[in-house]
Amino acid sequence: MTSTTAPAVDLTEVDLTDPSWFRDGPPHELFARMRAETPIRWNETEHFGGFWSLTRAAEIAAVSRDTATFSSHAEGVFVQRDQVAPLDLVRAVLLYKDPPEHTKYRKILQSAFVPATVAKMEDDIRAVVTRVLDDVIEQGACDWTQDVAVRVPLLVLAELMGIPEDDVPRLYEWTEQIEAAQRAIEPAQAVETFMAMAMYLHEQVERQAAEGNSDSLVMRLRAAEVDGETLADPEIMTFFALLVFAGNDTTRNTTSGGLLALLEHPEQLEKLRADPAVIPQAVEEILRWTSVVNYFVRTATTDTELAGQPIAAGEKVMLWYASGSRDEAKYADPQTFDVTRSEHDHMAFGGGGRHFCLGAGLARLELRIIFEETTRRLHEIEQAGEVQRLQSSWANGLTSLPIRFRAGARVG
């Protein structure tokens, strides 16, 4: 992945909320300089006030683990209070909760994501990936992002939620609308989207209850009980919205960025082909390398300090996971893409605290199957056109990756 950094840039002038820094992907040279020179740096912005920019893994992990001092609930997880939707609305979402509320809800919700439940999805996910590849394989060319990376997580989520496949285009539209709202300077764009999702989910609950479908995530969550607590329908709705937001374009962007990294390092792609047993390890390196959620934000609840830097109550800290995943203190040669790397302590799924990605097991499974089936069935893959990128400082994603290939072994 390339970087947009001129080595001589004056760091005091840099505003990392300006998407032009991310035009060619995250500015990794700039992050490296910040880690070395000003790892806790005040960043004034044009539109949203200022925040402390944290670029080293150590501080990102420390903040992630200290939810009492660094809140997700007080001011949300973006720089701007009402980013995506009004804070008072989205505060009900798990990602925005602090303990003890967060602990209670996470306990109920994670019952649906325990490893045994996720492992049971392997056959269904392989069937989805097989079908998506079947649709492109005879053409010998496709847009990897639009034809494969977009479709797989949407179809998996529909399967998980017991949603009819005909409704997948609606899930896609909602994902795009929430993502666009995240990038908008004018906040609170996604309220209508959330309302539409609430109405849709209500219909789904009624339909699935009438059909006696007890196996879908929606119905399992309705039945789930922890310490005598159950989830009300509006809580299931907010969780559904979070899954659409958190589970879709993250997996898509990792799938897109992962193949691009492999095409840019053909000797690494060859290692996956030569020995598919390497793929789980390669998935970890792809997660580290792409680290597609560039950041989340926390707000200090009290005057505190980080590595000697005073942080005042009410000030925001931005956790640059994209930088933490390439911290020299954690990784030998972090700017090298190496699918056989043994250190896997990356920050693609967050800084390791209570909000650590709930869908990490599912995402890893989807990515493993995508790269297993792709390396088995698509041979001599080449980039066949220019890569298009999302213009965002928060999401590291591609909107187009044209490829061509030779069809290899068939399924079965």
- What's the CA angle centered on 18, arms 92 and 326, to 5 degrees? 80
State which of positions 366-405 bind ligand HEM (CB under 6 A): none
The correct pick among 17, 53, 64, 256 for binding ligand HEM (CB under 6 A) is: 64
Our finding on whether 293 is near ligand HEM (CB under 6 A) is: yes
Listed in order, strand segments (DSSP E) in 302-375 are 304-306, 309-311, 316-320
Q: Which helix (H) or strand (E) holds 229?
A: strand 229-230
| Shortest Å, Cβ 158 to ligand HEM | 11
- Dihedral of CA atoms 342, 325, 74, 94 in degrees, nearest 10, equals -50
Identify whether the C-beta of residue 94 lies closer than 8 Å to the C-beta of residue 350.
no
Options 278, 363, 387, 398; binder of ligand HEM; rule CB under 6 A? 363
Comparing CB distances to ligand HEM, the nearer of 5 and 256 is: 256
Does residue number 353 form part of the binding site for ligand HEM (CB under 6 A)?
yes
Q: Does 296 contact ligand HEM by CB under 6 A?
A: yes
Rule CB under 6 A: say whether 320 interacts with ligand HEM.
no
The answer to the question of residue 357 lying near ligand HEM (CB under 6 A) is yes
Selected from 30, 125, 262, 292, the binder of ligand HEM by CB under 6 A is 292
Pairing of strands 50-54, 40-44: antiparallel
Q: Which residue number has the CB closest to ligand HEM?
A: 359
Token code pair at residue 390: 């999302």
Residue of 34, 62, 84, 94 that binds ligand HEM (CB under 6 A): 94
In single-letter form, the type of residue at position 320 comes to W
**Which among 266, 260, 219, 245 is positioned nearest to 386, based on CA atoms?**
260
Cβ partners under 8 Å of residue 99, min gap 6: 67, 68, 354
Helix 168-183 × helix 233-247 angle, to 10° = 80
Omega within 30 of 0 (cis) for the link into 334 = no
Among 14, 108, 121, 242, indicate the residue that binds ligand HEM (CB under 6 A): 242
Task: State which of positions 99-138 bind ligand HEM (CB under 6 A).
Answer: 106
Q: Given the complex with ligand HEM, which of 5 and 179 has the nearer CB atom?
A: 179
Q: Pick the binder of ligand HEM from 240, 331, 349, 394 (CB under 6 A).
A: 349
- Calculate the CA dihedral of residues 224, 230, 231, 232 and round it to 10 degrees: 130
* Residue closer to ligand HEM, measured from CB, 132 or 137: 132
Choice from 39, 187, 247, 334 touching ligand HEM (CB under 6 A): 247
Write out the residues near ligand HEM by the rule CB under 6 A.
Answer: 64, 94-95, 106, 242-243, 246-247, 250-251, 254, 292-293, 296, 321, 348-351, 353, 355-359, 362-363
